[in-house]
Structure 1
C-alpha cells in the first residue's frame, strides 16, 4: 500500500510535476539532473513499487531522461540558453525531486520491507571510492558440510582486493575515503595494534586513492617482544612505504586502558597539527576504521550474501562472523532490518562486549541507528535492534591477539578440509565458535549457514606469541629426499 504525504498528496503527484517541468525546460537538466532526476527515479522506482501505474510512469521518466539529455546536447548553444527563468524551473524541479525522494523514504519507513535491489539504490547515494573487487566470492564448504550435516558456506571478504591479502575493512575504507575525497582530505591517519588488519587495508586503500596514509601502532612488548623484524601486516605496511609510528603499550596490546588510548590520540593529533601547519588536510580514523561514514559499508555485504545464496537455491538461516571493533555487524544488521529477512546473526567476539568496554551492544545499536539516519530513515527502537544481536564471548581466549587452542584447531580443520586459511587473531576464533555451535547442537542438522571470512590471513606469519602452535617453530624440519634421475 502506498503511503501519503502529510498534505495528502501521493509521491507520484510530485514525480509527474517534476517530469513535466523537465519536459518543458530540457536545458535545465544541467542544473538539476544530479539531484532531481536521480531523486525522481529513486522515488518512482521504490516508493511506488506496488502501484498499478508504476510501469507507465517509469517509462515516461526514462524516456524523459533520454529526451532531456538529447535536447540539452543539441540546443544548449543555439536554442536554450540557461536563463534565470530556466534556472528557477530547474531549482523547482530539483526541489520536487528531493521531496519525492523524501516521500519514498517516509513510505519505506512505515510501509513494507525493502527488496534487496533497493539497498543498493540507497547505498548509491553515499560518496564512495571504488577500490575492492565486489561482489566477493561466496562458496560452499563441501567437505565440512558433509561432515557436519549442515549446508556451510563462506563469504570471502579476504579476497576483496586490491592485493591478495585483504579483508572486510576494504569496504569500510571505500566509504570513509569517498567522503574524505569529497571533503578535500589528502592524508589519512589511523591506529591499531602493530599487527592491525584494518591499518594495512586502510593504508592500501589510501594509496590507491592517491592519499597519504600514516599509521600509529601499539605493541605489547611484554608479550610479543620488542620489534626486531617485519612480519605479517607490518611487512606489508613496510613494502608500501607507509609512514609508521610505534608506541609501546606493555600489557595492553589493544590499547584498552584510558591512559594508553590518550597517549595514542595525543600523538596522532600532534602529527595532524604538524601536517596542517604545512597546508595539508588530515582525517583521523579510529581503530578498526570505526568512523561514521564507513558504518553503512556492510549493507552491501548482506545483500551480496543473500543474493549469492539464493543463486544456488538457498535461504540463509544464520550468518556467523568474528566481531572486534564492531564495523561489520551494524551494516549487516541494518540491511536485515530494512529487508525483513529472517536470517539470524551470531557474532563470535574477540573482545569482551561489556557495558563499560570500548565496544559493547549499546555502541552497535547507536551505529545501526546512525546508518538509518544516513539514509534519512527513521531508526528502529533500541529493543528492536538489541533483539537481533547475539554475541558469544567464550572464544576470546586469554586476550586479544593471544592464541587459543580452539582457534589453532579451527584454523587447521578448515585448511585441511577446504584449503582455506583463517587468521589467528580474528577469524580463527570466530570459526572455532561456529564449530563449537555445531558440536553442541546449537545449529540444527540441515541449517543453511554462512561464515563471513573478514580477512586476518597475514597474521599467520606473525610471531609465535600471536600464532601459537600453528607456527610450528619447534617442529622438525623435513629432511631433503635425494631424487634419482
Structure 2
C-alpha cells in the first residue's frame, strides 16, 4: 500500500505506543490485552482525527485552500483537532456546531472541547437545528474554502487509518503476535473503515470489531463498507470483502453522547488498573464491548484508544455525581 501519491501533512507523532495492559487483562480474566494509544499523539490534545486530517488537509493545501469548514456536535473531538491542525498550518477554521446531543448545562455547553476550539482560534458557529446549520455554512463558504465531513470521514480521511493498520500490524508482529482481535470505536466510520480495509489488504489473519457509539449496527456496517469501497477506489484495489469485520450497537445505550452506567463502570476499570482515561462518548462505550469480548477471547485483544479526553470535562457534573464522593 503506497500512500505517497496522496498529499499529506505531518500532524501526529507516529507510531503511537502499543502498550501492554496486564492489570486490566487480569481483571478481565482473559487473554493478553494491549492498548493502541492514539490518544497520545500530540497536537491539539491528541486523538484519532489527526490521522485523517493529515490526508484531508494535505489535499486542501494542495488545492490552494485558505479556510477549512467542518461540522459536529458541541463537544466534537473532530472540531477541536481540526482547529488545532488549522492553527499549526495557518488556515482559517470555521466550526459549524449543532446541539445534536441531549445534554445541557455549563460544563457541556462551555467547557471541554468547545473552549479549546476558541483557544485554537477557530470561529465557532453554534446552531440549534439544520436550518441554522445550513445558513451558517452558506455564510462562511467561499471559493478558497474546503469543507470536511463530520468526523473527517470519507474515503480520503480513512486512508489515515489504512496507514495506522500497517503501523499496528507491524507492532503486533514485532511482539510475535500475528493473530489478534482489534476493538475500535465506531462513530462517523472512517477510523474503523481504515483499520478494516488496511488489515484486509495486508492479509492479516486477525479480526476487527467495530463497536458503534451512535448508529444501529446495520446502518453503521453499511457506512463502513461504503467508506472502505471509496478508499479502495482511491488506492486502485478491488472493493474489500470485510469478512473479518463485525459491527455491534448494543453498548450505545439511550443514544449518541448519552452516558450509561456500564460506560462509567468501564471508565473506572481502565483508570484504576492502568491509569488510562477514556471519554464518555466514544472510547467509554466501545470499551464496554471490549470488556465483554476480552473476557472470553481466545486470542490477544487490542483496544484502539481514539482519544477524546477534553470531552470528559463536558460531563464533569455526571462524573462528580458518580465518583466525587468515592
User: TM-score, normalised to structure 1's length?
Assistant: 0.63
1:266 to partner: Cα distance: 4.0
In the TM superposition, what whole-angstrom CA distance separates every residue of 1:391-450 from its partner, at most 9, and x where no partner exists? Answer: 1111001111111011100010000000011001110111111112234x3x13xx2111
Q: Choose 286-295 or 188-197, whichever is displaced more.
A: 286-295
> Equivalent of 2:188, from 325, 332, 337?
325
Query: How far apart, in 1, do the equivalents of 2:26 and 2:323 lie?
Result: 34
Say which one has the larger Rg.
1
Query: How far apart, in 1, do the equivalents of 2:252 and 2:108 lie?
Result: 27
For the 8 Å contact 2:52–2:152, the answer to whether it is kept is: yes
> 1:435 and 2:291 equivalent?
yes
In the TM superposition, what whole-angstrom CA distance separates every residue of 1:372-392 from its partner, at most 9, and x where no partner exists? Answer: 211122324xxx23x333111
For the 8 Å contact 2:125–2:136, the answer to whether it is kept is: no
For the 8 Å contact 2:109–2:314, the answer to whether it is kept is: no
Aligned length: 325
> Equivalent of 1:211, from 68, 91, 110?
91
Query: How far apart, in 2, do the equivalents of 1:393 and 1:228 lie?
Result: 24
Bigger fraction of residues in strand: 2
> Equivalent of 1:230, from 110, 119, 130?
110
For the 8 Å contact 1:154–1:451, the answer to whether it is kept is: yes
> Equivalent of 2:264, from 395, 402, 408?
408
> Equivalent of 2:233, from 373, 389, 409?
373
> 1:155 and 2:36 equivalent?
yes
In the alignment, which residue of structure 1 is the partner of 2:72?
A: 192
Query: How far apart, in 2, do the equivalents of 1:463 and 1:168 lie?
Result: 20
Q: Secondary structure at the match of 1:360?
A: helix
Query: How far apart, in 2, do the equivalents of 1:391 and 1:158 lie?
Result: 22
The structure, 1 or 2, with the larger RCO (C-alpha pairs under 8 Å, 6+ apart) is 2
> 1:271 and 2:140 equivalent?
yes
Give the 3 Å change call, closer, same or farther, for CA 206–415 of structure 1 in structure 2: same
Query: How far apart, in 2, do the equivalents of 1:389 and 1:221 lie?
Result: 28
For the 8 Å contact 2:182–2:209, the answer to whether it is kept is: yes
Query: How far apart, in 2, do the equivalents of 1:139 and 1:228 lie?
Result: 31
Query: How far apart, in 2, do the equivalents of 1:438 and 1:319 lie?
Result: 10
What are the ranges of 5 or more consecutive residues in structure 1 without an aligned counterpart?
Answer: 1-118, 250-259, 478-485
Query: How far apart, in 2, do the equivalents of 1:200 and 1:432 lie?
Result: 25
For the 8 Å contact 1:268–1:284, the answer to whether it is kept is: no
Give the 3 Å change call, closer, same or farther, for CA 377–460 of structure 1 in structure 2: same
For the 8 Å contact 1:232–1:460, the answer to whether it is kept is: yes
> Equivalent of 1:173, from 34, 42, 53?
53
Q: CA RMSD in A?
A: 2.2
> 1:448 and 2:303 equivalent?
no
Please show how residues 85-124 of structure 1 align to structure 2 within 5 Å.
119=1, 122-124=2-4
For the 8 Å contact 1:154–1:452, the answer to whether it is kept is: yes
Query: How far apart, in 2, do the equivalents of 1:291 and 1:437 lie?
Result: 28
For the 8 Å contact 2:11–2:85, the answer to whether it is kept is: yes
For the 8 Å contact 1:322–1:350, the answer to whether it is kept is: yes
What are the ranges of 5 or more consecutive residues in structure 2 without an aligned counterpart?
Answer: none
Please show how residues 221-370 of structure 1 align to structure 2 within 5 Å.
223-225=103-105, 230-249=110-129, 260=130, 263-272=132-141, 276=142, 281-353=144-216, 360-370=220-230
In the alignment, which residue of structure 2 is the partner of 1:137?
A: 17
For the 8 Å contact 1:158–1:456, the answer to whether it is kept is: yes
For the 8 Å contact 1:306–1:316, the answer to whether it is kept is: no
For the 8 Å contact 1:349–1:393, the answer to whether it is kept is: yes
